[in-house]
Amino acid sequence: MSFLSDVYAGLFYFAAFVLVAGLANKIIQYARTPAPLKIPTTPAPTTKLGVTLRMTREVVFFESLFRGSKWTWIFGWMFHFGLFLVTLRHLRYFLDPVPLLIEMIQPFGIYGGMAMVVGLAGLWARRFLVDRVRYITALSDHLILALLISIGVSGLLMRFVVHTDIMRVKQFFQGLYVGQVQILPADPLLLLHLLLVALLMIIFPYSKLLHAPGLFFSPSRNQVDNPREQRHIAPWAKRLEQD
């Protein structure tokens, strides 16, 4: 039992390091990538406030996806909003005391898990049923979707079918904060669920899931449409002019 807890503690330390370091590296890379041209997707806002509002609508409501494909938007928004609720629900394992807002969100987090799985199933079906999407779908796309669905399904099974000792799970993760390895329940479904979550954390910085932070660095979304009013010069071009 102690050996198993040590293995999972080491796994999550490693997964957290890879996730944080990988994301930091990619964000720095995105920030340093030059954008020498004005290429906002039109119709685009002409002020910084307009860009902020546009990015907010894109992040919260998936505005461009709604315009492009209503079915993809429905399943995509279900998955992402469900994942958001599930993430809030799981904060109870890491916070003590648990804030009132997190306590209130608990029932909604269960429905969020269901919405997450349904949304993922729809997005995965799209990879098979839509010809143009099936043509550009790689094996990695199927594997990532399978991983996400497996995480969702295993979590729902622990909620409705095979229960586990959630207090010991909470003690285990809070112990990791201070370098103390608490005993983790040896329930097979829980161990599978945690293994899949750790795997997701490890591959996240090196997969297409990077569209999450990458969206904020997209020139077609974050640029002001003012090429006539103001000359756009990339930072590296400004240095060349000064030399």
Question: Which residue ranges form the domains of the chain, and what is each CATH number?
Answer: 2-242 (1.20.950.20)
Helix axes 70-90 and 139-160, enclosed angle (nearest 10): 50
Provide CB contacts within 8 A for 145, sequence distance 6+.
Answer: 120, 123, 124, 127
Angstrom distance (rounded) from CA 38 to CA 27: 21
pLDDT in tens, the chain (243 residues): 588 999 999 999 999 999 999 999 999 999 888 888 888 888 889 999 999 999 999 999 999 999 989 999 999 999 999 999 999 999 999 988 899 999 999 999 999 999 999 999 999 999 999 999 999 999 999 999 999 999 999 999 999 999 999 999 999 999 998 889 999 998 999 999 999 999 999 999 999 999 999 999 998 999 998 887 777 776 666 665 565
**How high is the pLDDT of residue 235?**
67
Using only C-alpha atoms, the chain has a radius of gyration, in whole angstroms, of 21
188-219 burial, b at 16+ Cβ within 10 Å, e below that, comes to: eebbebbbbbbebbbbbbebeebeeeeeebbe
* Contacts for 67 with CB less than 8 Å, ≥ 6 apart: none
Q: What is the pLDDT of residue 39?
A: 87
| CB 227 within 8 Å of CB 45 | no
